[in-house]
Amino acid sequence: MADLNDIRTRITTLDSNLLQLLSERRELAIEVAKSKQSTSKPVRDQDREQQLLVRLINQGRELGLDSNYIMNIYHTVLEDSVLLQQAFLQQIKNPNAATSVSRVAFLGDKGSYSNLACKKYFARQDDSLVELGFPTFQQIINAVEKGQADYGMLPIENTSSGSINDVYDLLQHTSLSIVGELTQPIEHSLITTCDTDLSKITTIYAHPQPFAQCSLFLSAHPHIKIEFVDSSSAAMAKVKELNSENAAAIGSITGGELYGLKPIRTGLANQTENYSRFIVVARKPVDVAVQIPAKTTFTMSTGQQAGCLVEALLVLREQGVNMTKLESRPIQGNPWEEMFYIDVSANLQSEKMQNVIKQLTRITNQLKVLGCYPSEDVAATDVPEDLL
């Protein structure tokens, strides 16, 4: 029987080799992106991805590897490759946007969900990240508008609690442009300073959004008092300060580690698949390379006559533009009038999108483009059973 230390040494060597190979694969992904600079070939070729996965699954079976194991690994590898190529092409397309340091404003302090989203989004760039926490969405907007920050990270919607209306309302009045997006899995946990029991918890500190997303769990424990705070990081800081077996915060395990907190209950969200979508705003818009899937976000207000909204939406259908989001918010100062926020899967510079803007400008009371930006939704390539 092999010595345990010898086995671990071999595993360490294999892990180092795997990391080296993954690094080499990333370098080749950049070479692929360079080869597409002078063409309009899209970053993704899902037919090729499917063929690659079929080949790898069949090869893996011969080596005794489970197909789901291979799929999980290569879905992550392929997503990273796509996002890496997109980031490279965007840097080429927007050379003036490149800086050595990116100052990013976000809600709360280090360890908040917005802060974790910042780290993930800007990890694909070579810039140094300066993290600037603020207690309100308005202060984030102000910091970017005044040049105190280069970017702002704002949560816009959640699969459990829905749209974040405060952010939508702020977008009505800002001159900033949406330049990016990120969809982040949100895993709510009940975290404390010590090994305590749920029955001992008398107060939970939480931001209103996590509170709404965990309403079913909280309603099952009506004896627990809820104290609202400005961010999840503020909730964790408060619990650390109290250092009591009776106090807990709703936050992420990763964020809690920064405050020396530990989870006593995980999976608190109403929905098992709980995701938040964030947008990145900046003072200047970006151009999106034609090889990259793009989204365009705009607002419009229509007349109150019957059929006005339908007429506007028919323009999208006639031009073959797919709408992915429609949100309405009241227009401040205009009772009973609504501002419509629309996300579409289209590049603003494309002919069909330019036609949409021209036609909507003629038939709406107001139209404003909030931004065109690379789509971060990298759907995993499926492999039908009949191909295996």
The domain that holds 236 is classified in CATH as: 3.40.190.10
121 shares a domain with 72: no
**Helix (H/G/I), strand (E/B), else coil: 330:** strand
199 shares a domain with 175: no
86 shares a domain with 24: yes
pTM of the model: 0.86
Give me the pLDDT at residue 259, please: 94
131 shares a domain with 76: no
* Domain stop point among 94, 123, 154: 94
pLDDT above 90 for 141: yes
79 shares a domain with 114: no
pLDDT tens sequence across 162-201? 899 999 999 988 999 999 999 999 999 999 999 888 999 9
* Domain stop point among 68, 94, 120: 94
Contacts with 115 (C-beta within 8 Å, 6 or more apart), sequence order? 106, 108, 109, 131, 133, 233, 255
pLDDT above 90 for 307: no
Residue 206 in domain: yes
119 shares a domain with 76: no
Residue 384 in domain: no
Domain with 21 in it: what CATH number? 1.20.59.10
Residue 385 in domain: no
Average pLDDT over residues 42-55: 92
Give me the pLDDT at residue 6, please: 92
**Helix (H/G/I), strand (E/B), else coil: 250:** strand
pLDDT above 80 for 387: no
* Domain stop point among 51, 71, 94: 94
pLDDT above 70 for 254: yes
Residue 90 in domain: yes
Residue 306 pLDDT class (50, 70, 90 cuts): confident
Residue 170 in domain: yes
Residue 127 pLDDT class (50, 70, 90 cuts): low
Residue 287 in domain: no
| Among the listed residues 346, 387, 382, 381, the one whose alpha carbon sits nearest the alpha carbon of residue 79 | 381
Give me the pLDDT at residue 388, please: 67
Domain that includes residue 224, residue range: 189-266
Residue 341 pLDDT class (50, 70, 90 cuts): very high
Residue 161 pLDDT class (50, 70, 90 cuts): confident
Number of domains the chain contains? 4
Average pLDDT over residues 50-61: 94
Domain with 317 in it: what CATH number? 3.30.70.260
Percentage with pLDDT > 90 across the chain: 76
313 shares a domain with 331: yes
Residue 175 in domain: yes
Torsion sign across C-alpha atoms 112, 160, 74, 324: negative
Residue 172 in domain: yes
Give me the pLDDT at residue 381, please: 85
pLDDT tens sequence across 73-91? 999 999 999 999 998 999 8
Give the chain's largest Cα–Cα span. Answer: 82
112 shares a domain with 88: no
Q: Where are the alpha helices (DSSP H) in the chain?
A: 4-35, 46-62, 67-93, 113-122, 137-145, 165-171, 208-213, 215-219, 232-242, 253-258, 308-318, 351-363
